[in-house]
Chain A
């Protein structure tokens, strides 16, 4: 078999798997979306108030926190994975919780990775709101609460972009969730490929294991789904950026 034939066969099989809604692939996609989606929602709930505090309040340690956020934006995922692994293993400080190799552990890892990203980008968007906008709120009789609402409205597209950037990063991330999630599938077999339905197996971690197993068409199918998800997120982010 020539390499072209091999590739064409792999790709056509991959599309077959996707369009037949293969349950193994579906379960992996579901875990990816659930884990990264939940992590992004939790990160957003932390990041936006944090960005506001950093933008408007002058408290002690503010500069240090900003430095921490900036560092956190480029944190290597494997490092975060290792850190949480050490915390959660049975002998670790949080070992009693019995959470290593669970979706919750993966959510925690991605939460730590994504929160600084959403905070940093939101903070930049909030800070980019011109001072006269806020002053005008006051001249028209508004108070500080109305000023905050106004900055939110002015920065809204930037904040949405921040959330989408966080989600994109979470979905594409592999290092941390591989370490703390363990790429686990249930025993048995669904859909005639791979193993049982996914427990902590995501699009990215499954691609690594399927590829090393030599199941190229499954990997390609997972890759196509991953790329489509990230592409749509980017297009959405682009759309909002152009409106802002």
Chain B
């Protein structure tokens, strides 16, 4: 499969604290790439760098087939780990990315209604977004991130607040988006079972180092690194 973008020798630090060390990673067009690793490993930081949000201290990002700069970010979407809610209606929240892109009112209406149905919030458009439960807010934020069909979807723990039925639904949507639209998806998660269910390939981050990149089957049957094997077995590693 064609490589869509590459991270080359990327490192990141906040003050003296090294958070990412010499990351090299290629993401392929149309794959679901899972970024796993314990809390504090640097998953969120790497996603923020991929979204051009944070400028790495060293290294480069190379995008193939996508022009860099402002327009590039417009073709991506980053869903934050903690759901962010605009103080407006659910409809206004989900419509935001479409409005920014100047879509026609009727198309916005149609797409938002569709997205809300997809994430299991049918008819909730008029509700005040601030009043949603944690899980509802996360699904609303998910709808807001996918409604304008980004080419690259960066998801940071998108199911952390959800009950099992909604986890299954969101995972289902993630797979469908990839299958139907060919969207390239990078998902950060601690959840090994989620990796098993949806990922094509996996990268294991540990203390800011990418210790292994493998296919899903590879990592479950023959992990290359003892530490990632331990993580997969569910043993805590710090």
Contacts and interface: CB of A to CB of B under 8 A. Distances in A.
A153 B87 contact: yes
B148 A141 contact: yes
Question: Chain A binding site: helix, strand, loop or mixed by DSSP?
Answer: helix
A139 interface: yes
B82 A132 contact: yes
A133 B74 contact: no
Chain A contact-residue range equals: 10 to 19
A136 B101 CA distance: 15
Given A132-B80, A133-B84, A139-B78, A146 B100 contact: yes
Interface string A116-145: 000000000000001011011111111100
A146 B76 CA distance: 17
Interface residues of B, number: 22
A181 B88 CA distance: 45
A146 B86 CA distance: 13
A153 B87 CA distance: 8
A140 B100 contact: yes
A154 B97 contact: no
B231 interface: no
B86 A150 contact: yes
Contact of A140 (B53, B70, B87, B96): B96
Contacts, number: 48
A156 to B, nearest CB: 8
Interface string B49-67: 0010100000000000000
A139 B51 contact: yes
Contacts of B87: 153-154, 244
B80 A141 contact: no
Given A132-B80, A153-B86, A154-B86, A139 B53 contact: yes
A67 B87 CA distance: 31
B100 A133 contact: no
Contacts of B183: none
A152 B40 CA distance: 33
Given A135-B53, A153-B88, A154-B87, A141 B82 contact: no
B77 A139 contact: yes
A136 B145 CA distance: 10
A211 B216 CA distance: 87
A140 B78 CA distance: 8
A130 B86 CA distance: 10
Contacts of A139: 51, 53, 73, 76-80, 145
B84 A141 contact: no
Nearest to B150: A141
Interface in A14-73: none
Nearest to A146: B100
Nearest to B141: A136
Contacts of A130: 84
B99 to A, nearest CB: 9
B21 to A, nearest CB: 25
A138 to B, nearest CB: 7
B144 interface: yes
A135 B154 CA distance: 14
Contacts of B96: 137, 140, 142
A91 to B, nearest CB: 54
Given A137-B96, A141-B100, 17 more contacts: A132-B80, A133-B86, A135-B84, A139-B51, A139-B78, A139-B79, A139-B80, A140-B77, A140-B100, A140-B144, A140-B145, A141-B148, A142-B96, A142-B100, A150-B86, A153-B86, A153-B88
12 contacts: A135-B53, A138-B73, A139-B77, A139-B79, A140-B144, A141-B74, A141-B148, A150-B86, A153-B86, A153-B88, A154-B86, A154-B87
Interface of A: 130, 132-133, 135-143, 146, 150, 153-154, 244
